[in-house]
Structure 1
Amino acid sequence: MSPEFEWRVLGVVHAIPAGRVSSYGRVAELAGFPRHARHVGRLLANAEGVPWQRVVTAGGRIARAGTEAADWQRLLLEHEGIVFEESGRIDLVRYGWP
């Protein structure tokens, strides 16, 4: 990944307010790299000091459900006030950003 990609994606992720979420694809699009959702996921998997928990799948779900990282992400999002549906999905109309 290029430094420009990293810088722009991390800038978008930092802009997501607490209590809101965005999808990997939307972050890529806002950063100027449409169709690079998987690259966003790879970058966030190793990013430190970034509110990575605010990025979810396009369907409003936490990626890699059932892992410790997914459980931690859910806990962080709940702490920010995000309510999960019984199915484990986040209502993107209510909590989506931008």
Structure 2
Amino acid sequence: MDDDYAEAVLDLVDEIPAGRAMTYGTIAEVVADRLEALDGRRRGGPRQVGQVLSRAGSGVPWWRVVNAAGSPPARHLTRALDLLGDEGTPLSADGTRVALRRAIWFPET
């Protein structure tokens, strides 16, 4: 995985507003589209997004990135759900995942 890809992932995650969320897959698609527009190459997928976030520093709002079912990373589930709740992110009725239909965010461009 190259530095341009990691930087693009972290930049996009930084754009996610408080109270909203994106999936690993959606981030991978947006980043691939953005980078392809720059250099004609597509790269990365949901797993690579996860790898970038696992190496990121504490300044990145990692808790706003969830899987396709709306679940935060299992290793950080309680912490992520607390942070999401503090931001007012819509959660499922049982409070165990993000209500993606109400919380999903897509960048303007």
Question: What is the TM-score with the length of structure 2 in the denominator?
Answer: 0.79
Structure 2 residue 83 is matched with structure 1 residue 73: no
Aligned pairs for 1:1-98 (under 5 A) are 1-32=1-32, 36-48=45-57, 49-64=59-74, 67=75, 69-85=76-92, 86=94, 88-98=96-106
Cα offset for 1:93? 1.2
Q: Which has the higher helix share?
A: 2
The alignment covers a number of residue pairs equal to 95
Cα offset for 1:42? 1.2
**RMSD after superposition:** 1.6
Larger radius of gyration: 2
User: Match of 2:79, as an amino acid?
Assistant: W
The verdict on how the C-alpha distance between 1:46 and 1:35 changes in structure 2, with shifts beyond 3 A counting, is closer
Identity over aligned residues, as a percent? 37
- In structure 1, stretches of 5+ residues that fail to align are none
**1:25–1:35: 8 Å Cα contact kept in structure 2?**
no
- In structure 2, stretches of 5+ residues that fail to align are 33-41
User: Match of 2:73, as an amino acid?
Assistant: A
- Hey, which bits of structure 1, 4+ residues long, moved more than 2 A? none
Question: What is the TM-score with the length of structure 1 in the denominator?
Answer: 0.87
The verdict on how the C-alpha distance between 1:51 and 1:83 changes in structure 2, with shifts beyond 3 A counting, is same
Please list the CA deviations of residues 56-79 of structure 1 after superposition, one character each: whole Å capped at 9, or x if unmatched: 001111222xx4x22111111111
1:92 and 1:57 map into 2 onto residues whose CA distance is: 10
